[in-house]
Amino acid sequence: MNIPFSPPYIDQSIIDEVVSTLNSGWITTGPKVKALEEAIAQFTGIQDILCVNSWTSGAILILKWLGIGAGDEVIVPAYTYSATALAILH
């Protein structure tokens, strides 16, 4: 028996968005990211929103913002994804 693990849902509208983004020349901090930040701000009522490329980047940013650094103790689960610990080591 073959049971797919978390198969992605990709329909034509998603393909069209990806193609549109690639054709725009903006694959990082372009207008779609700005539109997402604005939509999140409107939905949450929070004015300052920053989207990053991954959970790891977000975790690194938050740890630095909180002033957590060398010599500080950070406890992580024993069974977790490697990025959890790597964000702390960064």
Q: pLDDT by residue (tens digit) across 14-51? A: 999 999 999 999 888 889 999 999 999 999 999 999 99
Cα distances (angstroms) measured from residue 3 to each of 7, 8, 9, 10, 11: 10, 13, 15, 18, 21
Q: What is the pLDDT of residue 15?
A: 97
Q: Is 83 within 8 Å of 56 (Cβ atoms)? A: yes
> Whole-model pTM above 0.75?
no
**Mean pLDDT for the stretch of residues 52-62:** 93
Specify the DSSP class assigned to residue 25. Answer: T
What's the rounded Cα separation, in Å, for the pair 12 and 70?
47
- Residue 63's H or E segment, with its range, is helix 55-65
Q: What is the pLDDT of residue 42?
A: 98
Q: What is the pLDDT of residue 6?
A: 82
